């Protein structure tokens, strides 16, 4: 009797085990994977990231270039050409600007949250909500390309990310090949001035790389700061006496190039004398904003400083090529706000 009972129990156990083996496990359906973000954190992600939320706007253009802009549920702000590239951004929500709105984020429950690598407190706070949080940074060209590569990994768009990185690097090579022809005695000095007069791009900033890639000499190269756009003041700029002053183009700017050109105190500065105080294009897509479009920024600087080596006509051929490559569409120069 006992042997029959044991045999019956064994048969039931085997049947149960076989049935369990045939039940799909959670990891078979949606296996987790891990990426290392730009804060050096290990972040576990679902196999497919279908939705994303952000508080700040810098990654938006990168997501659009990767072809995943339609996955954005919330972002700090959108502007310029972004809503033309991805119309769904017209109605995208927000999870806070400056400070995280935990309630809004919980309601959206995105597959991933993308944020500044320099704000680990917010990244960790989001992780405690059960939402993967990826930190990125884009203060140097290397970081911009690393961010593209990382986001390509997050969204399983590695091939597209590699294409974009290769394209950007090819423009660096183009600028370098032209700049190499310029004799040392012809090199121009320049600064990129921030949203306030007296704030400049120091040597550890993306804008410094842009000047140097364009064959220029950044007067503020030795100025380094943990905070972007360190204040050096006007007296320091007067002492530098740059050949070119490139001004950032954004709604936060408290001045216009005309303010310097018409200010009696600036009239002895070479850039002012020669009317080389220039707003970095463009109104609809800033070419010095940390993104792929900075390749247009340094090529534009190149044609401004050395038109005999690289003409504006040559540069303008690159504009349509960039937008077609990055976003699959082009924009009229007057729409962008580019002044010839």
d(C-alpha 132, C-alpha 155), whole Å = 13
Predicted confidence at residue 27, as pLDDT, reads 28
- Between 126 and 30, residue with greater pLDDT: 126
Confidence tier at 15 by pLDDT (50, 70, 90): very low
pLDDT given at position 250: 75
Which H helix or E strand runs over 191?
A: strand 189-193
Flag whether pLDDT at 19 surpasses 60: no
Banded pLDDT at 32 (limits 50, 70, 90)? confident
The 10s digit of each residue's pLDDT in 230-242 is 999 999 999 999 9
Confidence of residue 316 (pLDDT cuts 50, 70, 90): very high
- Is residue 171 within 8 Å of 299, Cβ to Cβ? yes
Half-sphere exposure of 195 (CA within 13 A, CB side): 7
**Strands of 189-193's sheet in order across:** 217-218, 189-193, 244-247, 277-279
| Selected residue with higher pLDDT from 122 and 31 | 122
How many Å apart are CA 4 and CA 157, to the nearest integer? Answer: 59
Instruction: Report residue 2's pLDDT band, with 50, 70 and 90 as the boundaries.
Output: very low
* pTM, 2 dp: 0.88
- All structural domains of the chain, each given as residue ranges with its CATH number in brackets, are 32-157 (3.40.50.1980), 184-336 (3.40.50.1980)
Q: Say what the pLDDT of residue 20 is.
A: 39
Please tell me the predicted confidence (pLDDT) of residue 254. Answer: 87
pLDDT at residue 13 greater than cutoff 80: no
* Band (29; pLDDT cuts 50, 70, 90): very low
**Cβ neighbour number for residue 73 with a 10 Å cutoff:** 21
Can you give the pLDDT at residue 7? 43
Pairing status of strand 33-36 against strand 42-45: antiparallel
Rg (CA), the chain: 26
pLDDT at 21: 39
Calpha distance 30→109 (Å, rounded): 17
* pLDDT band at residue 168 using 50, 70 and 90 as cut-offs: very high
Q: Which two tokens stand for residue 76?
A: 């700090």
């Amino acid at each position: 009797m006992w042997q029959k009972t044991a045999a019956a129990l064994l048969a039931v156990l085997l049947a149960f085990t076989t049935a369990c083996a045939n039940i799909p496990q959670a990891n078979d359906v949606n296996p987790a994977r891990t990426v290392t973000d730009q804060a050096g954190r290990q972040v576990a992600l679902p196999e497919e990231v279908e939705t994303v939320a952000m508080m700040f706007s810098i990654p938006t253009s990168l997501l659009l270039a990767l072809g995943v802009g339609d996955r954005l549920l919330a972002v700090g702000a959108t502007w310029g050409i972004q809503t033309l590239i991805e119309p769904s951004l017209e109605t995208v929500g927000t999870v806070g600007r400056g400070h995280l709105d935990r309630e809004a984020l919980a309601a959206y429950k995105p597959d991933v949250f993308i944020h500044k690598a320099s704000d680990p407190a917010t990244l960790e706070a989001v992780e405690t909500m059960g939402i993967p949080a990826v930190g990125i940074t884009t203060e140097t060209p290397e970081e911009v390309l690393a961010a593209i590569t990382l986001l390509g990994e997050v969204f399983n768009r590695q091939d597209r990310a590699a294409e974009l990185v290769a394209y950007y690097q090819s423009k660096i090579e183009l600028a370098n090949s032209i700049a190499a022809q310029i004799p040392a005695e012809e090199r121009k000095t320049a600064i990129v001035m921030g949203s306030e007069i007296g704030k400049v791009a120091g040597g550890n900033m993306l804008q410094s790389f842009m000047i140097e890639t364009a064959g220029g000499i950044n007067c503020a190269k030795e100025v380094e700061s943990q905070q972007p756009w360190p204040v050096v003041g006007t007296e320091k700029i007067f002492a530098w006496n740059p050949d070119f002053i490139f001004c950032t183009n954004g709604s936060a700017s408290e001045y216009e190039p005309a303010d310097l050109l018409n200010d009696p105190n600036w009239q002895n500065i070479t850039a002012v004398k020669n009317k080389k105080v220039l707003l970095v294009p463009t109104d609809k897509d800033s070419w010095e904003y940390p993104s792929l479009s900075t390749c247009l920024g340094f090529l534009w600087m190149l044609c401004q400083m050395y038109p005999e080596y690289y003409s504006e006509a040559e540069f303008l051929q690159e504009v349509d090529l960039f937008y077609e490559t990055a976003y699959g569409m082009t924009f009229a120069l007057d729409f962008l706000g580019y002044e010839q």
